[in-house]
Structure 1
Amino acid sequence: MTKWKGKIVETNRGKFEIFIRGEGKPVCVAHHYSEFNETGDHFANTFTHKYKTILINLRGTGRSEGYKLDKELSMEETVKDLEAIRVSLGYEQWSFAGHSTGGMLGLRYAIDHPNSLNYLIVVGSAASGNYADTEESIYHPDHPDFEYMQDLIIQLKSKSLHPDERKLIARERTKLSLSDPEKYESYFSADLFKKIAPERLSFFSEHEFSSFDFRKDLPSVQTPTLIICGENDVQCPIRYSEEMHQLMEQSTFIRFQFSNHYPFLEEKERFQMAVRSFMS
């Protein structure tokens, strides 16, 4: 597997660790509570064949700047960090691609900094915390896998987990969000080992999840946006992608019939084709 090239970027908001792979127009990829390394990320890998992909360790992860106040981990502050990185890298504009809470972060970016993005790609995401209000969501108490998912999340928040144990728990969590869990091994490379950032996950779940709601701001977003969601998505059910599409005048929506939360792996070729078509 081709490694990503690591780099420390100095900005007016501190130092941030980024990983770069590919050539072409710049695409920024970030997830609200993941920590990356030189092995990369399955979602980010989607863009490296055609674009210069910049994968970012957000504040409090990897070798990036730390934080003094919890609010520095919020989406509002995080997009300010992303802007500082863009400026330091010398890009007048770049595109942003986000999966799940990365997509939520992308929406906030487009709302707060409308002149910074060429394109926005939002996959398996939602514009508010209401996505957990339906029984279709695994985060709803009436979902059959709710308790098991919550138990796995609690374990992943622990800082004392052995790395091998963390991998096994993360694997079980991911399998809950696949249309065919038996295909896990064929989708996820054992050579890629990103991890969850427990402090950022805790901040999101305890302070942001119940209150964030971007829906009233979406009609003002003029950034061309591609919204993709699997029909069987148990984390962010497809109705919430449809809702985003209805609110965003400049959006294109594509449903993936055979996918759950990972259409970029479950229907990989179609996903790559959709992205190339949209961004060209």
Structure 2
Amino acid sequence: MGIGEDEKVTWNQNFVETDRGTFEVYTKGEGPPLCVTHLYSEFNESGDYFADIFSKTHTVYLVNLREAGRSDCAKAPHELFMIETVFDLESIRVALQISKWVFAGHSTGGMLACVYGIHASSSLNALIAVGAAAREYGSSSPACIYHKEHPDYYIMQGYIEALKDPSLDYEQRQFISTERTKLSLYKPEQYENYFDKSIHKKMAATRMNFFAREILQFDVTKQLHQVTAPTLILCGKHDVQCPVVFSEEMAKEIPKAQLAIFNESNHYPFLEEEQGFMKVIDEFMDKVNGLFPNQA
């Protein structure tokens, strides 16, 4: 499949020096500042499908967290906790001299969004969380692919372990990544249509292994009422990674949060129902920009 002009544009690499270390940050787009990251993805100049959707209307900062890409390593294990990650993101925002930005996260990035909103809403113009949860989800719902009763549990676990292997060659990694992603699509036969850009990223194994432990005790549901930033929560009705019940719970607990459910999507509504997804995002951001006109 050919690559369109928009897909040829790479992200610009930057190294941001902060009082908590140096972080590799990729930027793209023009407009109000918006930050995107994921707890254990390793980004590069090819960007990210989720981050890319915001680059048409925002200056997007795609962050490689500690232990990912060429960002600093952790000096101690506790530096990989989600709350420490929020402090890292705040240090990046301050170093970039941005008074406030939007934070958008998909999957574990959406979980991080909850922690960010609880502890630093004053730094946020808005929060966007897609296909996420505010608590441990794998053992509490058999609808989740990380639950041992889910029919695809062992297949998914096998793919995850395989992707941690640094010796995998490019073709092996791409094949396994593709098959893993298909498990989280409502229409897996449409994979090639959804993922049609030359975007490639890796898994930061150290962060992934730490997350696998932190998630066992993760539950911030009783703190969600502290989120004061305008919040948009989106989820596919058939999400097998973070089932929709967790998005409904987040929307119920976060004051005035807006919830959008996509009936023909699994874990990637921004690709599976792109037009409908963007309509919701644009309407939400129009409201946010109306609240903060000087920063639009």
Q: TM-score range by the shorter chain?
A: over 0.9
Residues 228 and 254, structure 1, Cα contact 8 Å, conserved in 2: yes
Determine the C-alpha separation between the residues in 1 that align with 2:210 and 2:78: 8
Residues 17 and 23, structure 2, Cα contact 8 Å, conserved in 1: yes
Determine the C-alpha separation between the residues in 2 that align with 1:115 and 1:259: 32
In structure 2, the CA distance between the partners of 1:142 and 1:131, relative to structure 1 (3 Å rule), is closer
Q: 1:270: which partner in 2?
A: 276
Equivalent in 1, 24, 29 of residue 22 of structure 1: 29
Q: 2:69: which partner in 1?
A: 62
Deviations 1:68-113 (A, max 9, x none): 2222111111111100000000011000000000000111111111
1:222 pairs with 2:232: no
Equivalent in 170, 178, 181 of residue 177 of structure 2: 170
Letter of the 2:103 counterpart: F
1:88 pairs with 2:95: yes
RMSD between superposed Cα atoms in Å: 1.0
Determine the C-alpha separation between the residues in 2 that align with 1:215 and 1:165: 39
The count of residues paired between Structure 1 and Structure 2 equals 279
Unaligned segments of structure 1, at least 5 residues: none
1:135 pairs with 2:142: yes
Determine the C-alpha separation between the residues in 2 that align with 1:106 and 1:274: 18
Q: 1:254: which partner in 2?
A: 260
Residues 36 and 56, structure 1, Cα contact 8 Å, conserved in 2: yes
Determine the C-alpha separation between the residues in 1 that align with 2:170 and 2:64: 19
Determine the C-alpha separation between the residues in 2 that align with 1:190 and 1:270: 20
- The 5 Å alignment of 1:78-227 reads 78-205=85-212, 207-227=213-233
Q: Percent identity?
A: 49
Letter of the 1:37 counterpart: N
Residues 64 and 71, structure 2, Cα contact 8 Å, conserved in 1: yes
Shift of 1:190: 4.8
Residues 137 and 144, structure 2, Cα contact 8 Å, conserved in 1: no
Residues 35 and 57, structure 1, Cα contact 8 Å, conserved in 2: yes
Determine the C-alpha separation between the residues in 2 that align with 1:37 and 1:189: 17
Residues 149 and 173, structure 1, Cα contact 8 Å, conserved in 2: yes
| TM-score normalised according to structure 1 size | 0.98
Equivalent in 9, 13, 22 of residue 2 of structure 1: 9
Letter of the 1:254 counterpart: A
Tell which deviates more after alignment, 65-74 or 101-110.
65-74
Determine the C-alpha separation between the residues in 1 that align with 2:25 and 2:196: 21
Residues 104 and 127, structure 2, Cα contact 8 Å, conserved in 1: yes
Shift of 1:167: 1.5
| TM-score normalised according to structure 2 size | 0.92
Determine the C-alpha separation between the residues in 1 that align with 2:150 and 2:92: 40
Letter of the 1:201 counterpart: M
Letter of the 1:172 counterpart: E
Q: 1:279: which partner in 2?
A: 285
Residues 130 and 234, structure 2, Cα contact 8 Å, conserved in 1: yes
Shift of 1:163: 2.6
Deviations 1:201-233 (A, max 9, x none): 11101x211101010100121111000000000
Residues 19 and 37, structure 1, Cα contact 8 Å, conserved in 2: yes
Q: 1:34: which partner in 2?
A: 41
Determine the C-alpha separation between the residues in 1 that align with 2:264 and 2:224: 28
